[in-house]
Structure 1
Amino acid sequence: MTQRRQRCGKHARSVMADRRWVLLPLCARAAWLQLTDIGDVMPELRQPRANHAVSQDELARLLAASADELATALQHLVQRDILEQVAGGYRLKVF
């Protein structure tokens, strides 16, 4: 059986329609869109296993972002209740 091709950006319309979208800086908007796509193929981003969430370093690697830029984006996403800090990492709450 062949694997279904993932369509990148399939969550974009719902994410951009969220009322919190306009309150976010561009770095946080970009991170949110990319994280929703990553969450489709990486379920631990949405539902972390016990005592193991996706760390900031892992997210920086997956997003090909610098740690400083990502830290700012993550701070805004946590403040707007889009991401949640759990077990030394992050969980995507809104997708």
Structure 2
Amino acid sequence: MQINQQKTVQVDVTELHLYIKVRDGFAAGLKDAQGDEVGSYEGYVPDFFPGEHYGDYLILNIDLETGQILNWKKPAASDIEKMLAQGDDD
């Protein structure tokens, strides 16, 4: 006889993949070494963020052990400057 049965098993999970729809509601602040805000931006998700986000999504892969963002690439200074300039245009 065959019956349907659910069985709980332990699984070793290592990453959390986040797909967060922010649409035009993305906001970021830049702080200096003293913790003072020196710039801010509101608008679409900037191009230098990881994944094919189309300006509307945050796509982040988080290591569950360390809390580190695995798909983050260090932005160039020009990326930050471009983001701030686009924020000024709005």
- Give TM-score scaled by structure 1 length: 0.28
Which one has more relative contact order, counting CA pairs under 8 Å at least 6 apart? 1
Larger Rg computed on CA atoms: 2
The structure carrying a bigger strand percent of its residues is 2
